[in-house]
Chains A and B, each alone.
Chain A
């Protein structure tokens, strides 16, 4: 206890002298009773001689006095800024230098590093010492490290705040150079706030630093050591290859990492949607840890990066590029034109089969190789120029996958056979023809050592013609699939690093109906997947790779500044992240190549500093830094003050008086009520409303705060709601009014937002709420309701300005005026225009709807005041306002506006359902074609 007390230090001890005023305060409080009120009272005679039983209440009772003195004392003590456990004084007495590790590995430790740096700076200022600040990495675009200092405390703190971790490794050479430049007349006490990794030759650098004075090296805790995602180095086992588990990455960590550290790796899509999460535990004996994702094939293409959920930083993010997402597959030949006769064209079948999982490229062999495809599919080809053949062979030898189909050309090839896994007999074999009594053969079940193992060979696939392999010694090993009579159907062989696969029938239907079966697609998919895992096929077309998006120190992708240099394509294989070329996406619009820290060669192993040079002090980031007691004191003073207040109320009188007090000043009951409401009811209320909104379909709108407008909106939506219930199977449960600051928006498929110039701006939290709503498939209809006021397409009206202001901080995809064939015009009614109270305003929708939201635009912006029109039709039901000729057109416009509303709801609920071609015929007929 005393030990703890002795550690309390006052930062402003002079203020404590205020405590001597307390006795004076006591005296003052004691001797001045409140001045008596004077009251005229005829019956004063009866008061004569009555003695007050207790005199004290007119003075303050001593214990109350004591309480107040305590409050005053607490406030004085709080002002004197007491701190417990103040930072111990710094070693030595010269200048102080903070060496701050800010390479990629610092991101997860950054807060700790900064707070302990702040601690040291404060302490150094207290001791009146010079401060130097030195990062271990150069800034973006620079190659030297600048040392800050000597600087004052405030300058040091602001410099510190300006620093961020950088996504490249530390540069100890540059660091040493910066140290050398320091004027060392006095010894410098350096404190190295490390992230726990040795990025090079740390020992030497430490020794250099130590020479200038003393050095303290601060380690992070074991569980705070950095983690790194790398591409997996573990080859797929044959079984896994067959099974088709596919996406896997490694998590690496230094050997000193804490045992059984739980880590979850997220597979993320482009827009920060989490597609899959894999949880593993990391242990020092099992490094690197391989994480396997068993993810749906369709989703696989959407993965844009992996990251470690628990960590932030460039090392915890692994970007994927095109190569990973969809393989480019080259098809030799020309793309069959739709107008021709595609069904006899080989390439047509191949293209249709690989489209779901690969990018089909067409062209000659040279073109394809230039485009950097990883697989080349060659339909029946008998011969090719020697030059081309050599190039193709070299390409295969370098790891390319060549898939060939058979056909009459191969079968009857007069020239020498080339690039085939097996030697073929000339002529082929016809199983069913007018002169053959053989039955067409089926595909035999795949054997266990075939890459197709697990696929089912359908009964109805029949092969009428095939090419036959000459029997040879190791033919068995080359056969991946057989026909039911045992003849090879698919054969493959390795050629240097590459692979050649032959399918012994045609790619089209002339020799078999294989091309019409599902097996065709599955077989092609499995073959394409076998294409070399790690070869980045850098195209020869690009000399340099321009930076597209680069990572910052916390692993976020940002647009590159001019300081980022393009990568030389020739050096790309040996990519090392640096201040000039930070990790990120490089390439061109067509090709994007991801460079990650994890794939850099210099980081083959993560190592902790083995042993510190002698004389270097060790330290750990302490978790308990100096704690300021001032808030505690102020809080207890506030509590006592409340107590004092309560006592005053009770002393003022009991029973009736107390009641009277409350009834006259309803502050306290209101306060208590508020507490209860805030504490309990609001939570219940939120839960209640969540349950309510989740259980039905509610039309929702954002309240603008303008009660007239809100009422109109409410009315309009009720009108739409009743029209929906009457005419469609959508039966809204009601209308909800939303405040984006506090309400959950997730329950509503569509939200209406009438824009009003007087609208208040929303907080960051609200905007985040709205953004997340839009990101997760929500749709917001903005209506500026001012078509009559805008001269040209809602540019300059007040409401449009407000809309721009609101949406400025929202990430809204590019929008365009609604195209004629937009699905919004035919989700329920066929509409050509979208009138509200006004009819000529333009309706804006998202240009290209992002994937995953069924082509529903996330924002719909217009100025026709639809809600107003719906509200009018609601009113009109009762009043029958429009009569006569002009009334008819007005009524018609209202009806059209209601129809638009119904279309809008249908659009939000069903998405591109009506964009389907099913009804196109009827639609065309009705459109009067």
Chain B
């Protein structure tokens, strides 16, 4: 148990490290978000404060406890402080696991396996969302929560995913779980399963949620096939094995294939109006997070 805890701590600290560079990221994304807001509301609502969203004249249908007395005391009318984000969203994370994810070609990368990369990605994202008072949880666990306990739980879930059997780890286990209404699904994985399987899973997933973010984590070696010479490739399944006599010669056709696959996954996401993000593990996680966050803020993921 102790080791598990320390492993979680380690994972968290790594995630924290990544989000250390996030404040500026947050600031930027907030600015972008705000400029959008300002663009819409600037004329009507001058002089807004930090936590201010919108004041509205009190109407009889409003609850009296919503009245902002300080504001109302400034004038004759009675105002209520309306909060746009009063309704928090539930965000459920899913991370692929198993042997397939436990692969990395460059040991110098700080988060070198896809698994680690994905976990960090999930946690960092969760941290950001948690700061925005969103409810976060793990897909399949069903329950969402706020604050530290929710983070702990998510961390534990992510750790468990590492040892999950491959069969149900490479794609979300759609049969056993259902999503709460309007929950956002964030799925991180390599999505290297046959496209038919992915399509089947996504179809069911699309019935459960309208909003989803799919991050496909791939190792550069998987995209570029940076090997040469005579190589015996062994897959995650023991029966998957391929001997290539000269890797260099098949590199182009492999790249074509994998790119086609990536494109298909992306098209699948487009079909359901989900956000899709490709993340090669040699890219900076923060960069990917930034673009993901932007898209969340811009509303492409928002419901």
Contact = CB atoms under 8 A, between A and B. Distances in A.
Interface of A: 33-48, 50-55, 57-58, 652-653, 657
A795 to B, nearest CB: 64
A671 to B, nearest CB: 24
Interface in B64-120: 99-101, 103, 114
Interface string B114-133: 10000000000000000000
Given A42-B192, A43-B192, A48-B242, A53 B249 contact: yes
Nearest to A47: B242
Interface string B233-244: 111100011111
Contact of A42 (B222, B230, B245, B250): B222
Nearest to A652: B228
Contact of A47 (B99, B221, B233): B233
Q: Is the interface of B mostly helix, strand, loop or mixed?
A: mixed
B233 A50 contact: no
B103 A41 contact: yes
A164 B261 CA distance: 89
B254 interface: yes
With a 10 A CB-CB cut-off, give which of A47, A52, A58 has the most chain B CB atoms. A47
With a 10 A CB-CB cut-off, give which of B192, B233, B248 has the most chain A CB atoms. B233
Contacts of A51: 250
B242 A58 contact: no
A39 B232 contact: yes
B246 A52 contact: yes
8 contacts: A33-B230, A42-B99, A43-B192, A45-B240, A47-B233, A47-B242, A47-B250, A51-B250
Contacts of A41: 103, 221-222, 233-235
A554 B228 CA distance: 68
A424 to B, nearest CB: 117
A44 B241 contact: yes
A45 B101 CA distance: 14
A483 to B, nearest CB: 111
A42 B114 CA distance: 11
B136 to A, nearest CB: 28
B254 A653 contact: no
A54 B249 contact: yes
Contact of A37 (B194, B229, B241, B242): B229
Contacts of A35: 230
A377 B233 CA distance: 114
With a 10 A CB-CB cut-off, give which of B227, B228, B242 has the most chain A CB atoms. B242
B12 to A, nearest CB: 26
A34 to B, nearest CB: 6
Given A50-B250, A52-B245, A43 B234 contact: no
Contact of B240 (A38, A44, A57): A44
A34 B229 contact: yes
Interface in B32-55: none
Interface in B163-199: 190, 192, 194
A653 B230 contact: no
B192 A58 contact: no
A43 B249 contact: no
Contacts of B101: 42
Contacts of A36: 229-232, 243-245
B243 A42 contact: no
Nearest to B251: A50
Contacts of A38: 231-232, 234
Contacts of B236: 42
Contacts of B257: 46, 50
Given A45-B240, A653-B248, 18 more contacts: A34-B229, A36-B232, A36-B243, A37-B230, A37-B232, A38-B234, A39-B233, A39-B234, A40-B103, A42-B222, A44-B234, A44-B240, A45-B194, A47-B233, A47-B244, A47-B254, A50-B250, A53-B250
Contacts of A54: 246, 249
Top 3 A-B residue pairs of the complex, sorted by shortest distance between their CB atoms: A44-B235, A36-B230, A41-B233
Contacts of B3: none
Contact of A46 (B232, B234, B254): B254
Contacts of B114: 42
Nearest to B218: A43
B204 to A, nearest CB: 23
A539 to B, nearest CB: 94
A97 to B, nearest CB: 68
Given A52-B246, A58-B246, A653-B248, A43 B230 contact: no
B28 to A, nearest CB: 34
A42 B254 contact: no
Nearest to B227: A39
Contacts of B248: 57, 653
Nearest to A48: B242
A43 B222 contact: yes
A57 B114 CA distance: 33
Contact of B244 (A33, A34, A45, A50): A50
Contacts of B190: 42
A42 B103 contact: yes
A51 B221 CA distance: 19
A653 B249 CA distance: 11
Interface string B123-163: 00000000000000000000000000000000000000000
Contact of B230 (A40, A44, A45, A58): A58
B25 to A, nearest CB: 30
A360 B95 CA distance: 118
A40 B101 CA distance: 11
A690 B242 CA distance: 66
Contacts of B99: 42
Contacts of A47: 233, 242, 244, 250, 254
A34 B234 contact: no
